[in-house]
Amino acid sequence: NNNINNNRCIILTAFTESLLSILYRSLPFCLWSHHALITGFRTIQNDEMGSHISVDKHDLALAAGVNCLLLAFYLKWQQDHPSDPEEDASSSLQERWNACDMHADGCIIKPQEYAEFRLKKIVTLSPDTRLYRFELPDDKTLGLPVGRHVTARALIGSQYVTRPYTPVSAPDAKGHFDLVIKSYPMGKLSQYFMHLKEGDSVSLKGPIGSYKYIPNEFQHVLMIAAGSGITPILQVLRHMVNSRVETAKITLFYQNRFEHDILLKDVLDEIAEVYADHVRVIYVLSQGTPEWMQQSKTKTRALGHISTQLIQDHFPCDSKSKAALMCGPSGLTRHLKDTLTKLGITHMKVF
């Protein structure tokens, strides 16, 4: 006969270990924890009067102790063998392997394995955004096909964290390539980048993605970007305006909250000026000011959000040959997909 409070403490200990085992997603630990619980409860028996409880405390404590030991070994193993989750769910393994045949001559990055790239220069674009210039050997080009991105990986704590990023440098840039990364308070990898110094190295692989650019496939192309989503859009835009055969008219809506959130504005303004016959850029601020609106003499600025009316005012929705490219928060792109469908734009690609 044993004190009921002591027995409850032992059972509670085994139950707590079971929860920890499930939390760490280890089947062996779950089995051991359940064994501990079953062993304890099966040896609990009431006598005929119901006044005593008999528990094999030593067996239950032994099972619980072995469970703790296994849990400790597992945590140590997990620390020594960090996982590598691929967080870019939009790109399947088959797509990554299919990208192998799209390498440009001289491309040194591979889609199936990571390589280290040295950080050559860091340029602060805003308090939370930086341009990271990586070094390429022997004046080679990255050779990334248009519409594709790279995946960055870093060991943070005991686990690898991965994120997709699209270079903003020209595809034919020799000896370097640039990534523009905005830091978010809860972004593990973006925070990691904010603490990098020139001379550090970052693991990258690519090209990743399924988008395939076809010149002159459409007469009118609508591009929509929000925040750091401008990077893949800019890559396609640059390629189209530099193409000798592309004749499509391009309308770009770029959504942000404040004026200082607009990334790569000098680059976008230059493209809009040089290729004024083919490209139009409209900046949209959800929290802009009337003064900001008055600074522009042309209709290239708007307050609020990208709406049906705004798109109709600047894009020929009645055209039979039209398509849309989008990149931004999932809530925004889902909303705009419904809007564009109602406007008759059925060819859409969301990066």
Work out the average pLDDT over 276-301. Answer: 88
Rounded Cα distance, 292 and 301, in Å: 8
210 CB neighbour count, 10 Å cutoff:
15
The lowest-confidence range among 34-38, 259-263, 312-316 is: 34-38
Q: Are 202 and 169 in contact (CB under 8 A)?
A: no
What confidence tens digit (pLDDT) does each residue in 321-343 have?
Answer: 999 999 998 888 888 998 999 89
Which residues in 138-265 belong to E strands, given as ranges? Answer: 149-156, 159-165, 176-182, 201-208, 220-226, 249-256
Chain mean pLDDT for the chain: 79
Q: Are 121 and 180 in contact (CB under 8 A)?
A: no
Work out the average pLDDT over 132-155. Answer: 90
Locus of tokens 């929705």: 317
Rounded Cα distance, 38 and 36, in Å: 6
Q: Which structure tokens are listed for 162?
A: 């991965």
pLDDT confidence of residue 323: 93
pLDDT confidence of residue 276: 93
Rounded Cα distance, 86 and 95, in Å: 13
Q: Which residues contact 1 (CB under 8 A, 6 or more apart)?
A: 52, 53, 54
pLDDT confidence of residue 76: 56
pLDDT at 8 over 50: yes
Rounded Cα distance, 178 and 267, in Å: 13
Element (H, E) at 97: helix 93-98
Would the pTM of this model clear 0.85, i.e. be above it? no
What confidence tens digit (pLDDT) does each residue in 21-55 have?
Answer: 544 444 444 555 555 555 555 544 444 444 444 55
Rounded Cα distance, 15 and 2, in Å: 20
Residue 244 per-residue DSSP state: S
Is residue 93 packed enough to be buried (19+ CB in 10 Å), middle (13-18) or exposed (0-12)? exposed
Rounded Cα distance, 208 and 111, in Å: 7
- Cα dihedral sign for 112, 227, 269, 223? positive
What confidence tens digit (pLDDT) does each residue in 168-210 have?
Answer: 988 788 899 999 999 988 899 999 999 999 999 999 998 888 8
Rounded Cα distance, 188 and 154, in Å: 9
Helix (H, G, I), strand (E, B) or coil at 330: helix
263 CB neighbour count, 10 Å cutoff:
23
pLDDT at 313 over 70: yes
Work out the average pLDDT over 214-223. Answer: 94
Work out the average pLDDT over 213-217. Answer: 90
